[in-house]
Amino acid sequence: MAWIKRNLFFAIGGAIALALLGAAGFYDYKSWQRNSTAFENLNEIYSDLKNVSSQKPSPGNAKVDNIEAARDQERQLRAWIKKARNHFEPVSPIPNPTNGPVSSEAFKNALDRTVSQLQHEAVGANVQLPPQYEFSFTAQSDKVRFAPDSLEPLSAQLGEVRTISEILFSARINALDSVQRLRVSDDDTAGPQSDYIDDQPVKTELAVLTPYEVTFRAFSGEIAATLAAFASSPHGFIVKAINVQPAGAVTGGADTTQPPAPEAMSPGRSGLQTVLNEQLLRVTLMVEIVNLSPRN
């Protein structure tokens, strides 16, 4: 105690110095802790940035903005889709009322009228048809009331079947043996198998692809004209498959008489004789019609 009294100011100064040293140590510790946390956060951010930059595609850097480039490409794609719609015009349903849903009476009248029209067009184009052919609507031909919720898809199919048939007639095929469609109605279960294909439409975010199968007889020139007509149609037809074989005997009630094949011979006794003897062919086409989704 005597020493403290003699050295009071020194003792007080030492105590203050110790307190300051403790405070400084505590401050340094807290600063080190903050710096350590900040460094860890910086490393984490750097690691995330490195991972993002290494992705394929990368978002880019200060010179290359891949995100904006992707947005620009999306804009270009949507502009192309909008422009391509000119080649994917939807086929109008038959009937196509603007003031409400399709009624049974309206569909029945439209079906009878369309089938009769196609039969007359076939005669005008010299295309043979099976007797009393209903163009795949045999199950509906004798009805005046139709299965619930079937009139809209049936109307869409009737419009598409008419368009397909008229393409074939315009190509001047020799005979139409069948047009086959999907079953879309409970009434279709009672129809003949020859009117249908066992398939399903393909649905994507961009479109719905609906398949049809047509079987006809023609020579090679008319087959080429048919394929060209489908390719140039504004309604987005895609020929998915084609099967060609000699016509031979055809079932289904169609006339199997083959017209005489053209024949030509070059003149001159000493020259080589050239003979053209083309054979009538039976063709089966798997055709899809593309209906773009309204939002695209």
The CATH number of the domain holding residue 221 is 3.30.70.60
Can you give the pLDDT at residue 264?
Answer: 47
For residues 239 and 110, state if they share a domain. yes
Instruction: Tell me: do 212 and 98 sit in the same domain.
Output: yes
pLDDT at 256: 44
Residue type, 228: A
Regarding whether 214 and 99 lie in a shared domain, the answer is yes
Same-domain status, 15 and 119: no
The 8-class DSSP code of residue 189 comes to G
C-alpha pair distances (Å), 139 with each of 58, 71, 142, 213: 58, 50, 7, 18
- Tell me, yes or no, whether 101 lies in a domain: yes
- Assess whether 145 and 213 both reside in one domain: yes
Does residue 66 lie in a domain region? no
Q: pLDDT tens digits for 97-127?
A: 888 889 999 999 999 999 999 999 999 999 9
Q: Which residues contact 254 (CB under 8 A, 6 or more apart)?
A: 128, 129, 130, 175, 177
Task: Return the amino acid letter for 254.
Answer: A
For 206-273, list the strands marked E by DSSP: 207-218, 237-246
CA atoms of 78 and 84, how far apart (whole Å): 10
At 52, the amino acid letter reads V
Q: Which domain holds residue 119?
A: 91-253+278-292
Q: So what's the pLDDT on residue 240?
A: 92
Which of helix, strand or coil describes residue 69? helix
Residues 227 and 170 in one domain: yes
pLDDT value at residue 236: 86
Q: Which residues of the chain have pLDDT under 50?
A: 249-258, 260-266, 268
Residue 218's φ and ψ, nearest 5 degrees, are: -170, 170
Residues 10, 149, single domain; the answer is no
- The confidence score (pLDDT) of residue 227 equals 94
CB 288 within 8 A of CB 237: yes
Q: Tell whether 38 and 135 lie within a shared domain.
A: no
Q: How far from 34 is each of 24, 26, 41, CA to CA, in Å?
A: 15, 12, 10
- Asked whether residue 194 is domain-assigned, the answer is yes
Q: What pLDDT sits at residue 147? A: 85
Residues 139 and 216 in one domain: yes
Residues facing residue 215 across a β-bridge: 178, 284
Q: Tens of pLDDT along 208-244?
A: 899 999 999 999 999 999 999 999 888 889 999 999 9
